[in-house]
Amino acid sequence: MRKLTIIIVLFIVLGTLGGCTAAPVTPSWSSLLATDGLLYTGSQGGRVYALNATSNAEVWRFPPAEEKAKGALYGAPARLENTLYVGSYDHHLYAVDANTGSQRWVFTSAGPILADAVIADGMLYVASSDHKLYALDAQTGLKKWEFATGNWIWGRPAVAAGKVYVASFDHKLYCLDAADGSKEWEFKAGAAFPGGPAVANGVVYCGALDKKVYALDANTGAVLWENETGNWVWATPLVVDGTVYVASLDHTVYALDATAHVERWHFATDGMIRSTPAYADGLLYVGTDTGSLQVLDATNGQPKWTFKAGASILTSPVVADGVVYITTLGDTVYALDAVTGVQRWNVNPGNRK
Amino acid sequence: MTQLWNTIIFQPLLNLLLFLYAVLGRSFGLAVIVFTVLVRVVTLPITAQQMRSTKASQDMQPKLAELQQKYKGDKEKLAQEQMKLYKESGVNPMGCLVPTLIQLPIWFGLYQSITAALPQNPLQLLNLAKHIYSRFPLLANLIPSSLIPLNASFLWLNLGRPDPYYIIPILTVATMWVQQKMMAPRNADPQQQAMSQSMELMMPLMFGYITINLASGLGLYFVATNVVGIIQQYFTSGWGSLANVFKRPAIQPGASRRKGKSDERTKKPQ
């Protein structure tokens, strides 16, 4: 009897452990793109949805409902003319018609594609967890070149003045020639780079797991300054009018003078800030893992209003035509008045039939 | 409740695991093995009680068999006498269960820690960020951020993924079976003996099956904890029933002459 009881208890434990690991679903956070009156969003269910930005009516979904879904989607879609590009956890980057959602071509890497696709000068830059950055012809999807780093790349690359900047989990930030992918310089930080760099006025800014944000000379890679926060800096820094906004997992947004490296203000929110804040018309929109959208005056950091969503906000808010759009963990999309925070609508596209 | 669990069990175990990784040459496999030994040492009083209880239970088997024979037709009386015997011998019939239940939270915590320490996607990395002791400078210095992401390679394994060659599941089954066999009471009742043997086989197979789908880091923990358990069990009660596995079965009188000789050879002098 005693032994039987132990066996039953252990079977329950094993069943629970087994249950925890059996589900093959890879959760993800979905990202947004708003353009031409459409709002594009990915989903952890492996579909891309195009919604009417005003009414939230579904325009199309990729793949269609009758077809099997793709892998989970993390990165924000990118659009060039009538083509939409989105990377997936299933190792593929899909190019689809931006108006109809029909597939045009697909590119396959050797690992999950979690970073936003970036388009510049007719080229598409795709960073993959297979440690590589790929440069593709945006029209055809043909590979022009690839560059291998020493670990995963989860952050979006940045392109400026014929150079591509990419940060990797191998602790290094690389500057590459956009024409052929040859390395110009590299910079090694004290820890991995989970997010991507930003480039403005000849300076590259990037945050790392060593809790620092680095400002590097875009031509040489020399460190101009570095600033330490209280936790990992995952979000790509945002540069607006000479101010660098740094969001940290220490719950705080820091506004730093881009040149003089002087702190202008900082604001402590109620949760970890994983994503880059959005800026529009003097306001800064900051999402937290506690589900708060904190809106601040960008000049002095004073809070304007807060919106509480039902789940973590882990990707960047998007502002277009006086509306701020956010998406939460679980793929619910909210549209709020960008000035007042009044909710216009919310929808979970994956729950629609 | 989740907060309490994280604070008391999960976070200390996770950070201990990361600390071991930092000081053991950044080998996650070595960290898991040392981690297992440490946990076994900390829980030694509990497991020692479990082993003593098992040994006492084994020693009682002949007397229990006698009682079963004596009170064959009277279940109520049998139960009373069995309880009396347990009481007289100072053995708690639930003595094996309580230590197992106490160890369950540690098992869950270990499972969580090993999977959390090896994030494979951004959500898992964010989860790790929430549980590392980054707010306390002293502890944060012991677990530098430069460790992340951990190197999951160990021998032929990626410890964040299942073993592609099934060696870890096989080792899990083998080591667990040996440990179970060493702990198994010598049961005089053939029916109970058969049930006991079936369980001794089912449990390792069940663990082996689950290890096929789990991160091999957890399988490595199972193997390491079983090996430590075998060593502990050996010093508590010797090889136990395992010694009988490799012995030739005793031959009944009246068997053939050749078999009888064999029987004589295996008999020890009285």
Contact A191 B144 (CB under 8 A): yes
Nearest CB to A6; choose among B100, B130, B134: B100
Which chain B residues are within 8 Å of A231, Cβ to Cβ? 129, 134-135
Contact A231 B93 (CB under 8 A): no
State residue A41's pLDDT score.
96
Give the separation between CA A44 and CA A25, rounded to whole angstroms: 9
Backbone angles phi, psi at A72, to 5 degrees: -55, 150
Contacts of A284 (CB under 8 A, 6+ apart): A245, A253, A277, A278, A295, A296, A297, A298
A249 in any annotated domain: yes
pLDDT in tens, A35-48: 999 999 999 899 99
ipTM (interface predicted TM):
0.90
State residue A314's pLDDT score.
96
A201 and A258 Cβ atoms separated by less than 8 Å: yes
Name the packing angle between helices B44-70 and B216-237 (round to 10°): 60
The residue-averaged pLDDT of A20-25 equals 40
- CB-side exposure of B59: number of CA atoms within 13 Å? 12
A111 and A68 Cβ atoms separated by less than 8 Å: no
Provide the domain limits for residue A287: 243-353
Q: Which residues of chain B have pLDDT under 70?
A: 93-100, 135, 184-193, 195-196, 240-241, 243, 245-270
A213 in any annotated domain: no
Instruction: Give the residue on A whose Cα is nearest the Cα of B211.
Output: A18
CATH assignment at residue A292: 2.40.128.630
Contact B130 A232 (CB under 8 A): no
Q: Element (H or E) spanning B266, and its range?
A: helix B257-266
Nearest CB to A192; choose among B94, B123, B148: B148
Contact B196 A17 (CB under 8 A): no
CB-based burial label for B75 (10 Å; 0-12, 13-18, 19+): exposed
Nearest CB to A3; choose among B130, B134, B199: B199
pTM of structure: 0.83
Q: Assess B3–A contact: CB distance below 8 Å, yes or no.
A: no
Q: What is the mean pLDDT of chain A?
A: 93
A309 in any annotated domain: yes
pLDDT in tens, A300-315: 999 999 999 989 999 9
Count of domains for chain A = 1
Give the least confident one: A202-206, A283-287, A336-340, B197-201.
B197-201
Contact B146 A209 (CB under 8 A): yes
Give the least confident one: A81-85, A203-207, B143-147, B175-179.
B143-147
Determine the residue among A1, A2, A331 to mutate to test chain B binding: the one whose Cβ has the most chain B Cβ atoms within 10 Å. Answer: A2
A261 in any annotated domain: yes
Tokens of B13: 């175990």
Q: How far is CA A136 from the centre of its chain?
A: 20
